[in-house]
């Protein structure tokens, strides 16, 4: 049994973050088949006794899909407007596919500023616990229409880490568009090697290439490693997997090797 399988198996409270590039198809529109697969995986994990909170990017992708044109690439106001449209489209897709598993979803739109106010964080935490107690799947996203943090720094990775720490999660899963962490970019180097387990993040930063951003994603590997450090300080591991790989979390739970597991500091 691999370390990822072991940790996923014993984790009861799991935060799953889905990156924009996971939800974007080759044409730049929302890939509904991926949304359907993620809903099925979460439903299966819940059936196995797991509690799941989701943090989902993809509002911009969903907005572009709905409007049908992306005409002002450099205009921040246009991006935020597309996200306002896309939030509705994204939640409609999640609602549709989770309903097939008799699951209800709820949306929480947050920013990092919400985590800085003690009273607000208490209400957020209580809301999460109440939704979970009622069998609802909470879906959190950065409030992109009023915040530009995500566009600049991959903030949903950090938002997922903040959520995991707030909820005292046992595991944070980041779904990206690559299989896991490599010693160098697999998109540029055919001999890139997948790193299955990381126990020393400080040393890792000195030995691998962590930069780079893809078309719809705003955070490169640095933001994912930052998230691993953030949850690691609270004793939780982080699992990085390819969200485009069908059933990836269920397959890992069933014993298949995959992804990169970042272990918390001892």
Please state at what angle helix 155-167 crosses helix 118-133, rounded to 10 degrees: 70
Angle of helix 59-67 versus helix 76-99 axis, rounded to 10: 90
pLDDT single digits (tens) 216-266? 344 478 889 999 999 999 999 999 999 999 999 999 999 999 999 999 986
User: Lowest-confidence range among 18-27, 152-161, 236-245?
Assistant: 152-161
What percent of the chain is predicted at pLDDT more than 70? Answer: 86
Chain mean pLDDT for the chain: 86
Domain boundaries, the chain: 3-262
Write down the CATH number for the domain with range 3-262: 3.40.1160.10
Q: For 146, which DSSP code?
A: T
Asked if 244 and 233 touch (Cβ cutoff 8 Å), the reply is no
- Angle, alpha carbons 209-198-53 (nearest 5°): 100
- Predicted TM-score (pTM) of the model is 0.89
**Strand order through the sheet with 13-18:** 105-110, 137-142, 51-56, 13-18, 171-176, 238-242, 260-262, 197-198
Q: Which of 197, 199, 195 is nearest to 210 (CA)?
A: 195
């Amino acid at each position: 049994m691999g370390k990822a399988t072991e940790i996923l198996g014993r984790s009861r409270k799991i935060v799953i973050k889905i990156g924009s590039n996971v939800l974007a198809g080759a044409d730049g529109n929302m890939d509904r088949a991926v949304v359907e697969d993620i809903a099925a995986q979460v439903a299966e994990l819940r059936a196995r006794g797991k509690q799941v909170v989701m943090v989902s990017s993809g509002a911009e992708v969903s907005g572009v899909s709905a409007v049908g044109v992306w005409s002002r690439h450099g205009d921040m106001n246009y991006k935020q407007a597309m996200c306002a449209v896309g939030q509705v489209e994204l939640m409609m897709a999640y609602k549709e596919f989770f309903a097939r598993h008799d699951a209800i979803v709820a949306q929480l739109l947050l920013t990092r500023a919400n985590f800085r106010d003690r009273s607000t964080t208490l209400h957020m935490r209580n809301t999460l616990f109440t939704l979970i107690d009622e069998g609802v799947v909470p879906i959190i996203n950065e409030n992109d229409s009023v915040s530009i943090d995500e566009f600049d720094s991959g903030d949903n990775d950090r938002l997922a880490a903040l959520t995991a720490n707030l909820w005292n999660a046992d595991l944070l899963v980041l779904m990206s568009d690559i299989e896991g962490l490599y010693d160098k970019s697999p998109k540029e180097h055919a001999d890139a090697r997948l790193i299955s387990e990381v126990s020393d993040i400080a040393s890792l930063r000195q030995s691998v290439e962590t930069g780079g951003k893809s078309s719809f994603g705003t955070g490169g590997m640095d933001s994912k490693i930052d998230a691993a450090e953030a949850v690691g300080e609270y004793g939780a591991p982080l699992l990085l997997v390819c969200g485009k790989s069908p059933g990836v979390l269920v397959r890992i739970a069933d014993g298949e090797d995959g992804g990169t597991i970042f272990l918390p500091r001892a």
